[in-house]
Amino acid sequence: QVQLVESGGGLVQAGGSLRLSCAASGRTFSSAVMGWFRQAPGKEREFVAAIRWNVGTTKYADSVKGRFTISRDNAKNTLYLQMGSLKPDDTAVYYCAAYLALGPLISDPRRYGYWGQGTQVTVSS
């Protein structure tokens, strides 16, 4: 089993920054892919970014490229999402997720088998 616990959400003004964290525990896997997703009220869950844990390869949604950065700390088993130039449209519950597979990074949430409970990010205008 893998446990993922997000933290760092909150209320921020447009143009501001926020850093989300996701602490991973349980089974360890060097070849895992970890990602961030978000879901706004009334909308489907949306891919934000992903990273392959062992080599650091990354992938971003077009909507966040240049504003968000995904990273990880191997020693702390923690995933991060640094968010900058935030917009009201970034308001959502943000989820940390993981899957085990080789190949290109996947943005389909159905491929992710492990999920955190989510953390709310609210961007005010």
- Please, which residues bridge with residue 83 across strands? 18, 68
Strand 68-73: give its sheet, edge to edge: 2-7, 18-26, 78-83, 68-73
Per-residue pLDDT, averaged over 15-26, amounts to 95
Query: Is residue 124's pLDDT more than 70?
Result: yes
Residue 72's Cβ-side half-sphere holds a number of Cα atoms within 13 Å equal to 26
Whole-angstrom Cα distance, residue 19 to residue 80? 7
Query: Is residue 29's pLDDT more than 80?
Result: no
Nearest 5 degrees, angle CA 58-CA 14-CA 45? 45
The pLDDT, as a whole number, for residue 9 is: 96
Per-residue pLDDT, averaged over 74-98, amounts to 96
Mean pLDDT of the chain: 94
The pLDDT, as a whole number, for residue 101 is: 81
Residue position matching structure tokens 């990880």 = 72
Residue position matching structure tokens 């959502």 = 92
Per-residue pLDDT, averaged over 2-20, amounts to 96
User: What H or E segment, with its residue span, contains residue 34?
Assistant: strand 32-39
The pLDDT, as a whole number, for residue 28 is: 64
Q: Give residue-wise pLDDT tens across range 30-60.
A: 778 999 999 999 999 999 999 999 899 999 9
The pLDDT, as a whole number, for residue 33 is: 93
